[in-house]
Chain A
Amino acid sequence: MSTLEAAAYTRFEWMKFFNSASPLSWQTVSMPSMELYSPTDLNDALRFMEHGDRSVAVIASGTDLLPRMRKRQASPSVLLDISSLTEDLRYIRQSGGTVRLGALTTVAELLESPLFDDRLSMIKEAARLFGAPQVRNVATVGGNVCSAASSEDLIPVLMALEAEVKLLSAKGGRTMPLTDFIVGKRETALEPSEILAEVSFPLPQGHSWTAYEKLGRRNMLIIAIVNEALSLTLEDDLRTVRSARIALNRVSGKIPALAVKTGGFLEGRKVSEGTIAEAQKVLAAELSLTSDFRGSGAYRTELVQAYLKRLMDRCSRKIGEAP
């Protein structure tokens, strides 16, 4: 897409939302009728899901689901309310080299945890720019991941940390990488009988740091034009890249994804202006970014390249400063 086309797209594409066939798509309407089941025991919740009924939706805080139900973008006939299962599903734990976040962990709790002060500080950076205080107080990690949309701030962060998700059903559990869990825009690998119980990731080892960038039209309560997360590990010489995991939102298909090729390109190379400039080109060629009313793909491609440099600089500087 040329720059001119991109500009035209950005200017007019949003208008389709107002010409949409369904007048309900942008009007605020009443809540649709549905039934609510609020178990107080995780096993009850799993048994309720056992039949794999597709008209059942899981609700935690509802900050994403309820507005979508009002707009008829989601129309479950039964809601399984897991918000009381805090004993089983709300925790931030570190054991061995693994960090585990219960699905009901709120974004505000991420901001309070001392675990995310140093090399995992991008989690707090993302949490700080997430919604607004009223949303952060209730919005959950599990809900953000299960929404599986490019508007979700935590997904790129967790992808860059190579997170895995733990899914539970009455028959047992399974884990899978987050990158496999998100299969499309608002589509996950969750079976109708499963609920997401935990997101876990290995604590970065050695000379490592993480950083996050988000650009929106304002700082707070905004869906990003671009989010980009980097988890960088250097060799003992503090120059050579051991591993670089870069994750972004709004990759074609409107999904979050890892920039695998760019990460691979950086591995084994020394961090320098030249390397980063080449990596920016690899990144631009690797992923095609979506155009929408927030910004064109061409604009996003410029942004993610600029942010790659900023993130690399921030991470390598922090690694150099570490004792």
Chain B
Amino acid sequence: MSKRTITLNVNGTDHPVQVDSPDRLIDALRDQLGLKSVKEGCSTGDCGICAVLVDGKLVNSCLMLAAQCDGRRVTTLEGLLEDPTMKRMQGSFIANNAAQCGFCTPAMLMAAWDLARHSPEPSGDEIKVAISGILCRCTGYYQIIDSVRQGCRREPR
């Protein structure tokens, strides 16, 4: 099996990463770059817990080969910790008790942040669609939907 060196731009910094052909993006992010906000759940694209942004688009990092991301821009939760929208979203998740076991929370925050970028006042349906690819194992969706709605608002009410 051939190792190859690829360049991943992760959270604004270029990282040379050594990958095997079968390595997925999630393997490179967790095992080589130590970004543990990216969780591995089903590994088949059904639970969305591994969601990250690649070139600004939300994707499942378990369904992408790392080598296919050579030269692309990857954003994980770690890269958004100082982002004002993400801070607001985190605050809203905390205020609404939207995390029970917390396993889906990083992915939910990524999907919520992606939604907040595009729509400051999303409808209930828009929120449901935005988080539809992420499975909450504790079925706490109501709190999550409320949190996303509040977190999307730029001005607090």
Which residues of A pack against B, CB within 8 Å? 28, 30-36, 38, 59, 61-63, 66-67, 70-71, 79, 81, 83, 108, 131-135, 137-138, 219-221
Contact = CB atoms under 8 A, between A and B. Distances in A.
B133 A36 contact: no
Contacts of A32: 22
B124 to A, nearest CB: 13
Contacts of B60: 63, 134-135
Contacts of B20: 33
Given A33-B1, A33-B22, A38-B68, 14 more contacts: A35-B2, A36-B21, A38-B67, A62-B63, A62-B65, A66-B65, A70-B44, A81-B67, A108-B57, A131-B45, A132-B134, A134-B133, A221-B46, A221-B133
A220 B129 contact: yes
B96 interface: no
B57 A28 contact: no
B133 A133 contact: yes
B22 A138 contact: no
Contacts of A79: 21, 65
B10 interface: no
Nearest to B19: A36
Contact of B57 (A71, A83, A138): A138
Contacts of A34: 21-22
For the side of the interface on B, what is the size category? 20 to 34
Interface in B1-34: 1-2, 20-24
B64 A138 contact: yes
A32 B2 CA distance: 13
A181 B132 CA distance: 33
A67 B44 contact: yes
Nearest to B64: A62
B48 interface: yes
Contacts of A134: 45, 48, 51, 58-60, 133
B111 interface: yes
A32 B1 CA distance: 11
Contacts of B114: 133
B65 A36 contact: yes
Contacts of A219: 132
Interface string B70-114: 100000000000000000000000000000000000000001001
B142 to A, nearest CB: 16
B138 interface: no
Give the top 3 A-B pairs by smallest Cβ distance, nearest first: A132-B133, A220-B132, A31-B22
A28 B68 contact: no
A75 to B, nearest CB: 12
A35 B21 contact: yes
Nearest to B50: A134
Contacts of A83: 68
B43 interface: yes
A70 B134 CA distance: 21
5 contacts: A28-B44, A36-B65, A61-B64, A67-B44, A70-B44
Interface string B115-146: 00000000000000110111000000000000
Nearest to A106: B57
Nearest to A67: B44
Given A62-B65, A81-B65, A220-B132, A133 B21 contact: no
Contacts of B129: 133, 220
A71 B70 CA distance: 25
A131 B132 CA distance: 9
Contacts of B134: 132
A56 B58 CA distance: 29
A71 B45 CA distance: 13
A61 B63 contact: yes
Contacts of A131: 45, 133
B70 to A, nearest CB: 8
B43 to A, nearest CB: 5
